[in-house]
Amino acid sequence: MTESEIPTLYSMSDSTGQTADTLSKAAIRQFRDIQEIRHIPLPRVSRAEQIDKIMQVLSQSRPCMVAYTLSVPALKDVLIERAKEHNIPVVDLLDPLVLTMSEQLGITPPRREGGILHQLDEEYFRRIEAVEFAIRFDDGKDPKGMEKADIILVGVSRTSKTPTCMYLAQNYGKKVANNPLVFNVKPPKELFAHKEKCVGLSVKPEVLLDIRTARLQSLGLPASSSYANQDQILREMEYAANIMAELGCPIVDVSHKAIEETATEIIYLRYPKPITRELKSI
């Protein structure tokens, strides 16, 4: 398949595009093993003129489709009209759910305002504070942060601790610290003092080997480094597994998982809801 033949899914939003981006990526993953699909986000589309220009460009970039979360009815109308003119498939990611909720609740649909989820309210500032926390207490820089953390992630190098912390901060407003488990290096005492907050991140040895080898190549370092040595990786993982067992923490296997999948599993483990416990037992 040539570059021009690869289908593209565009996720369009009149706000940050986070919802459309997440749902689009989730859909693409369903075809990961059988079809290559490109994803391009189109956030902050707030004017009809933008939609006109975008659809003109997309009409020359087939095959493509658009998944959208436009909150303003006028913008959605323009998109649907232009998509019909250019014969481009479009999918509304929000309206089916919103309308079903309205019918079940017996009330009119909520306000249709672009960016309504990102107003400067208490939740917004809580997430900003959580992001700042994740940066400050990243990679075990200051173990004292574990006392104030909602969640503490532990794992060997390259198990996506930092990006997972950032995702949990940005999307859930959780203050997350992380501490690397380094072979034959005793973890800080603060980790064991707050072990009830810990979640371990694990990965299959062969996956970690590939990740570390690629990391060395990107840095221009020799692949023969012990950092990407299979025996060393097995020793590190055994050491980390022993520490996690001592902590008694739940473990999430991050092999072949997107950051959002890992984060969702962590939230479920640390904040299980009664209904989810019941569903899991079915």
pLDDT confidence tier of residue 278, bands split at 50, 70 and 90: very low
Q: Which of 70, 105, 140 is the last residue of a domain?
A: 105
Distances (CA, A) of 124 to 4, 19, 64: 40, 16, 34
pLDDT tens for 168-227 read: 998 889 999 999 999 999 999 999 999 999 999 999 999 999 999 999 988 888 888 889
Given a cut of 50, is residue 275 above it in pLDDT? no
- Strands 151-155 and 90-92, sheet pairing: unpaired
**Structure tokens given for 188:** 């800080």
Q: Is residue 117 part of a domain?
A: no
Instruction: Name residues whose C-beta falls within 8 Å of residue 99's C-beta, 6 or more positions apart in sequence.
Output: 109
Residues 190 and 134 in one domain: yes
Claim to verify: residue 25 and residue 150 sit in the same structural domain: no
Q: Is residue 242 part of a domain?
A: yes
- Same-domain pairing of 181 and 248: yes
Closest CA to 209 of 224, 192, 198: 224
Q: Do the domain assignments include residue 115? A: no
User: Do 133 and 92 share a structural domain?
Assistant: no
> Do residue 43 and residue 173 come from a single domain?
no
The two three-digit tokens of residue 137, written as one number: 């207490």
Each residue of 236-257: pLDDT tens digit? 999 999 999 999 999 999 999 9
Task: Give burial (CB, 10 Å; 0-12/13-18/19+) of 274.
Answer: exposed
| 161 CB-contact burial (10 Å; exposed 0-12 / middle 13-18 / buried 19+) | buried
* Arithmetic mean of pLDDT, 141-151: 96
CA distances from 104 to 69, 108, 170 (A): 21, 10, 31
The enclosing domain of 224 has a CATH number of: 3.40.50
Q: What is the mean pLDDT of residues 135-164?
A: 96
Among the residue ranges 37-46, 122-131, 139-148, the one predicted with the least confidence is 122-131
- Judged against a pLDDT cut of 60, whether residue 25 lies above it is answered with yes
Q: Do 184 and 53 fall into the same domain?
A: no
pLDDT of residue 109 exceeding 70, the answer is no
When divided into structural domains, the chain yields a total of: 2
Residue 282 in this model has a pLDDT that exceeds 80: no
In a domain, residue 147? The reply is: yes
Statement to judge: residues 101 and 223 lie in one domain: no
pLDDT band of 113, cuts 50, 70, 90: low
Q: Whole domain around residue 73: which residue ranges?
A: 3-105
Judgement on whether residues 14 and 151 belong to the same structural domain of the protein: no
Last residue of a domain, one of 105, 138, 164: 105
pTM of the model: 0.62
Q: How far apart are CA 201 and CA 252, in angstroms?
A: 5
Same domain, 81 and 199: no
Same domain, 206 and 250: yes
Residue 127 lies in a domain: yes
CATH number at residue 47: 3.40.50.2300
Task: Report yes or no on 33 lying in a domain.
Answer: yes
Digit-coded pLDDT (tens) for 57-93: 999 877 999 999 998 889 999 999 999 999 999 999 9
pLDDT of residue 184: 93
In a domain, 114, yes or no: no
* 86 shares its domain with 142: no
- % of the chain beyond a pLDDT of 90: 60
Does 98 lie in the same domain as 146? no
Percent of the chain residues past pLDDT 70, beyond the cut: 90
Q: Is residue 29 included in any domain, yes or no? A: yes
User: What sign has the CA pseudo-torsion 110, 115, 117, 118?
Assistant: negative
> Domain boundary at 49, 71, 105, which?
105
- Half-sphere exposure (Cβ direction) of 195: Cα atoms closer than 13 Å: 14
